[in-house]
């Protein structure tokens, strides 16, 4: 205990008379009584004990400033009416307990002198009741401003103020922030126009000008959520993915200011300089892209905002790495040895050091051979890599992107090659056997015959089209290859969709602009993996695609067909593009394929609860957990309710109705004579096609 504190406690007895053994103090007398002679009064009106926090606060105040108000006591008497030498504390039991706490902690002695006031006339129970009823606590606004004045006039920091009043430094910081609110806000709070929650929302920032602006914008019943959002709309939340990617330390090292949220448990906040944050993100992504370009050998590297920008490029895909027979044999031997050592290690509790070292050596040797699939050097020489910030705050790399000017040249059709040699243009309508080279020689060969008329050309090719339709219908394998060819051109060869006579059009647009983060979902990763796997098996040039598909087996063609068809699906319910028929069919299709959105989406505060009204949040909690848990959070603020709902529903697989797969009712068997019956199933269609 400091000398100053001891002096403060000693001075409380100054001017007070000590209690003598042969005298009894009269009413109103101020005397000094040893602490161990003060006892709790059985007639104290307060039956609920003081909280530990209140006693701690009183003890801190007494330690710093002494007992500011002497307790009121009555003389304890024995059954025969004689004074026992002890005194019962009628008013000031909390102060007595705080002094005893200091004594227990050896800050003062058990016989520490305490100045008290004796009351021998009033009823002890009544004055105890009066003490707790007739007093009124100071308005919190006065308390906030008083704390602020201590900091400004006395130079006390939050820790020192907290020690003098028995509260934490964080509580002091909160009160100092509230005490610095705009005078208009303080006046409104004192008058009861706004609540403490609303004042707290305004004081998330110390900018009084901004507080006044938001106060003027808000209506008579502003919400806490709306105020906080308006006060921080030009700032970036500390839990933003960009902050996680760059790091608060890097941002602050560059002079960035962080506005700390003093009124939440996690102590989050907002970054004041979004421009600086975006610059740091761009610089880090650029550095990662350039490092990957140099390390992997790409022609160029770049940074993009989201996946939709990368989707505009053409692509090259990794191919199987060709290895020598010796390399294949060596890799097989290493893998076999690795598996054998792992099997032997399962039988022992502690792995021998030599075995552990050998496993590590094998792993390094296998890694030295590189991946089984890689981009060809010539492909890397004309393609690049782009890096973007994923929805999870991690860098996402998109490799094998080809700019339009770097795309492999498409060979001209045969008739254009003939035209380059000075021969007839295919647009003239020459048919097989009708080309000038097949007509005579000499002067006749040098004469240009009149081209077919456009009308005749249309007529003849229409007949040829009908013949082609007939032939393809009769050849199921060719029909399947034609459909797959048309779809694969549009999926894997952007800009080459016209390289097929089949009038089949796919829309292969990205979904990232509609739902940020969908590109980082598990479903998207599975879609991309399938595309990359097929991209590695297909030729680089669109003109060579048919030669690869034509001899391909039916099972592989169907797999590729499924891959392309999936990319072309669109079931987004956009109110500006109403397609109720397509939406209904999407639900039917979801049921047919057994879609389970729990594999790719989960309900969180960010994905759902913070974006719907409170009633929807409570509805979800009631449905997934029960009405009791919903009742516990019914009074929460919107943000707190969203966070609580996320914790309650974690791992329960709850889905909002729009994401659930609708189970169709089983159809009743058709009665005899009820027509043609239900349509054939997909398996039956496949069987018919095979026949």
Has residue 311 got a pLDDT over 80? Answer: no
Nearest to 337 by CA among 353, 354, 359: 359
Q: Any idea which of 65-69, 87-91, 308-312, 470-474 has the lowest mean pLDDT?
A: 308-312
Strand boundaries in 483-530, DSSP class E: none
Cβ-count burial of 377 within 10 angstroms (0-12 exposed, 13-18 middle, 19+ buried)? exposed
Q: Kindly report, residue by residue over 134-144, the tens digit of the pLDDT.
A: 777 778 888 88
Look at residue 312 and tell me if it is in a domain: no
Structure tokens at 637: 């603020």
d(CA 86, CA 36): 8
Higher local confidence (pLDDT), 433 or 155 = 155
517 and 536, same domain (yes or no): yes
> Across 14-23, 195-204, 383-392, 615-624, which has the greatest mean pLDDT?
615-624
Which whole number is the average pLDDT over 557-578? 85
Does 251 reside within a domain?
Answer: no
What integer is the mean pLDDT of 357-376? Answer: 87
Q: Which residue has the tokens 């100045």?
A: 115
pLDDT digits over 24-45, tens only?
A: 888 888 899 999 999 999 888 8
User: Has residue 166 got a pLDDT over 90?
Assistant: no
Asked if residue 587 and residue 498 are part of one domain, the reply reads no
- 3-class DSSP state of 115: strand
For residue 297, is pLDDT > 90?
A: yes
The alpha carbon torsion through 497, 499, 500, 501 (nearest 10 deg) reads: 110
Cβ 203 vs Cβ 181: under 8 Å: yes
pLDDT at 149 over 70: yes
Are 363 and 339 spatial neighbours (Cβ–Cβ below 8 Å)?
Answer: no
Choose one of 94, 109, 133: the last residue of a domain. 133
17: confidence class by pLDDT, cuts 50, 70, 90: low
Count of alpha carbons within 13 angstroms of residue 87, beta-carbon side: 29
Give pLDDT tens digits for 427-454. Answer: 444 444 444 444 444 444 555 677 888 8
Q: Is the pLDDT score of 489 beyond 60?
A: yes
> What is the pTM for the complete model shown?
0.50
What was the pLDDT predicted at 14? 45
- 118 close to 89: Cβ distance less than 8 angstroms: no
In a domain, 65, yes or no: yes
Whether 96 maps to a domain, the answer reads yes
Domain-embedded: residue 60 = yes
Q: Distance between CA atoms of 258 and 227, rounded to whole angstroms?
A: 19
Between 496 and 325, name the one with better pLDDT: 325
Residues 505 and 451 grouped into a single domain: no
Q: Which pLDDT tens digit goes with each residue over 388-423?
A: 888 778 898 989 998 888 876 655 554 444 444 444
Pair (550, 612) in one structural domain = no
pLDDT score for 408:
66
Residue finishing a domain among 467, 490, 512: 467
Do 12 and 124 fall within a single domain?
A: yes
Using the 3D structure, point to which of 99, 133, 167 is the last residue of a domain.
133
The total number of structural domains that make up the chain: 4
* Mean of pLDDT over the chain: 80
Lowest average pLDDT, out of 191-195, 380-384, 540-544, 657-661, goes to 540-544
pLDDT above 70 (res 664): no
Distance CA 473, CA 468 (A): 8
pLDDT tens, residue by residue, 209-224: 888 888 887 766 677 8
Q: Is 233 exposed, middle or buried (0-12, 13-18, 19+ CB in 10 A)?
A: exposed
Residues 437 and 494 grouped into a single domain: no
Least confident range of 72-86, 97-111, 488-502, 672-686: 672-686
Strands 258-260 and 319-320: unpaired
For position 22, which CATH number holds?
A: 3.90.1530.10
Closest CA to 483 of 568, 383, 373, 589: 568
- Burial (CB count within 10 angstroms: exposed 0-12, middle 13-18, buried 19+), residue 680: exposed
Contacts of 608 (CB under 8 A, 6+ apart): 620, 656
In this structure, the answer to whether residues 589 and 605 fall within a common structural domain is yes
Q: What is the mean pLDDT of residues 560-570?
A: 87
Per-residue pLDDT, averaged over 120-146, amounts to 82
Domain check: are 556 and 642 in the same one? Answer: no
Could you tell me the two tokens for 536?
Answer: 């590695």
Tokens of 54: 């209140």
Same domain (yes/no): 421, 527: no
Claim to verify: residue 626 and residue 640 sit in the same structural domain: yes
Range(s) of the domain holding residue 427: 414-467
Question: Is 434 found in the same domain as 460?
Answer: yes
Residues 506 and 620 in one domain: no
Looking at residue 678, its pLDDT comes to 41
Residue 273 lies in a domain: no
The predicted structure's pLDDT at residue 690: 39
- With cut-offs at 50, 70 and 90, classify the pLDDT of residue 131: confident
User: Does any domain span residue 139?
Assistant: no
Tens-place pLDDT, residues 169-204: 888 888 888 888 999 999 988 888 888 888 988 888
Residue 245 lies in a domain: no
What pLDDT score does 12 carry? 47
């Amino acid at each position: 205990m400091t000398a100053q504190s001891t002096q403060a406690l000693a001075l409380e007895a100054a001017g007070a008379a000590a209690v003598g053994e042969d005298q009894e103090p009269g009413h109103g007398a101020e005397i000094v009584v040893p602490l161990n002679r003060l006892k709790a009064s059985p007639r104290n009106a307060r039956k609920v004990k003081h909280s530990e926090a209140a006693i701690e606060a009183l003890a801190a105040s007494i330690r710093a400033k002494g007992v500011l108000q002497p307790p009121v006591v009555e003389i304890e008497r024995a059954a025969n009416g004689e004074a026992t030498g002890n005194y019962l504390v009628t008013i000031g039991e909390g102060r007595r307990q705080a002094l005893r706490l200091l004594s227990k902690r050896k800050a003062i002695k058990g016989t520490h002198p305490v100045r008290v006031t004796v009351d021998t006339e009033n009823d002890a129970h009544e004055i105890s009741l009066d003490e707790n009823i007739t007093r009124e606590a100071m308005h919190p606004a006065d308390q906030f401003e008083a704390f602020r004045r201590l900091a400004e006039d006395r130079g006390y920091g939050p820790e020192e103020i907290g020690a003098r009043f028995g509260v934490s430094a964080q509580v002091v910081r909160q009160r100092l922030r509230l005490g610095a609110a705009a005078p208009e806000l303080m006046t409104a709070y004192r008058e009861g126009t706004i609540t403490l929650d609303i004042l707290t929302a305004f004081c998330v920032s110390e900018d009084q000008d901004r507080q006044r602006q938001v106060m003027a914008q808000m209506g008579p019943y502003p919400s806490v959520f709306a105020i906080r959002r308006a006060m921080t709309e030009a700032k970036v939340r500390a839990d933003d993915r960009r902050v996680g990617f760059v790091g608060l330390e890097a941002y602050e090292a560059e002079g960035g200011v962080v506005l700390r949220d003093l009124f939440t448990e996690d102590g989050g906040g907002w970054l004041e300089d979004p421009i600086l944050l975006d610059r740091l993100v761009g610089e880090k992504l650029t550095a990662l892209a350039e490092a990957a370009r140099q390390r992997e050998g790409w022609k160029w590297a770049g940074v993009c905002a989201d996946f939709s920008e990368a989707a505009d490029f053409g692509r090259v895909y990794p191919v199987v790495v060709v290895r020598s027979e010796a390399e294949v044999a060596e890799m097989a031997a290493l893998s076999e040895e690795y598996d054998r050592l792992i099997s032997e290690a399962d039988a022992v509790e502690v792995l021998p050091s030599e075995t552990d070292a050998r496993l590590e050596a094998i792993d390094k040797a296998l890694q030295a051979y590189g991946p089984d699939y890689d981009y060809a050097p010539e492909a890397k020489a004309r393609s690049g890599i782009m890096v973007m910030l994923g929805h999870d705050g991690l860098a996402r790399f998109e490799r094998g992107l080809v700019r339009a000017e770097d795309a492999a040249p498409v060979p001209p059709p045969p008739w254009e090659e003939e035209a380059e040699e000075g021969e007839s243009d295919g647009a003239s309508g020459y048919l097989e056997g009708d080309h000038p080279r097949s007509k005579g020689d000499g002067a006749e060969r040098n004469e240009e015959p009149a081209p077919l008329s456009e009308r005749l050309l249309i007529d003849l090719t229409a007949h040829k089209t009908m013949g082609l339709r007939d032939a393809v219908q009769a050849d199921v394998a060719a029909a399947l290859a034609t459909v797959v060819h048309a779809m694969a051109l549009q999926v894997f060869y952007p800009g080459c969709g016209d390289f097929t006579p089949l009038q089949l059009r796919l829309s292969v647009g990205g979904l990232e602009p509609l739902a940020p983060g969908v590109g980082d979902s598990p479903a998207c990763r599975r879609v991309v993996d399938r595309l990359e796997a097929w991209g590695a098996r297909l030729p680089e040039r669109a003109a060579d695609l048919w030669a690869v598909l034509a001899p391909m087996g039916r099972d592989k063609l169907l797999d590729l067909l499924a891959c392309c068809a999936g990319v072309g699906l669109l079931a987004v319910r956009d109110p500006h593009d109403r397609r109720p028929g397509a939406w209904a069919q999407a639900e039917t299709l979801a049921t047919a394929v057994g879609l389970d959105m729990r594999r790719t989406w989960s309900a969180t505060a960010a994905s759902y609860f913070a974006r719907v009204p409170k009633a929807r949040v409570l509805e979800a909690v009631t449905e997934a957990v029960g009405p009791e848990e919903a009742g516990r959070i019914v009074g929460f603020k919107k943000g707190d309710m969203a966070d609580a709902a996320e914790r309650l529903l974690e791992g329960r697989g709850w889905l909002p109705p729009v994401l659930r797969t609708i189970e169709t009712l089983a159809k009743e068997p058709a009665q005899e004579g009820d027509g043609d019956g239900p349509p054939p199933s997909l398996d039956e269609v496949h069987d018919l096609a095979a026949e």
